[in-house]
Amino acid sequence: MSSFGGDSNFCPECGNILPLPGIQNTVCCPCCSFCIPVAEFSGQEIHSTFIFNPVEQSSVAQEDEDSEMKGPVIDRRCARCSKEGMVYHTRQMRSADEGQTVFFTCIHCRYQEKEDS
């Protein structure tokens, strides 16, 4: 008795995706011992669809004016307003064998400062 039912592209024993039929007479599940004759796949068509997100919806294109306010908040005192709480992010501004530059933005007054490490 099978644990899973439905699509013949899935193993009825463990639910894993079955590999495409090859030159062997059987298709065997890579996770369990289930095997099915290749003849069971006769006449089946396989269709694939790829959907590419438009560039406008990608995470790179979504950087807006508030992107400096996103990120982890740390306990660092702002040099301008003297309040605690700054958001930081890092960037590699120089060559790869040198440290990253850390950019801090105050969550209260949006004052920005940088620190080379």
78 is in an annotated binding site: yes
81 annotated ligand binder: yes
Residue 29 counted as an annotated binding residue: no
Residue 31, annotated as binding a ligand? no
Name the residue among 11, 41, 44, 10 with its Cα closest to residue 25: 41
106 in a known ligand binding site: yes
> Quick one: how far is CA 79 from the chain centroid?
36
Is 11 labeled as ligand-binding? yes
Give the SS3 label for residue 56: helix
Binding site per annotation, positions for Zn(2+): 11, 14, 32, 35, 78, 81, 106, 109
Binding site per annotation, positions: 11, 14, 32, 35, 78, 81, 106, 109
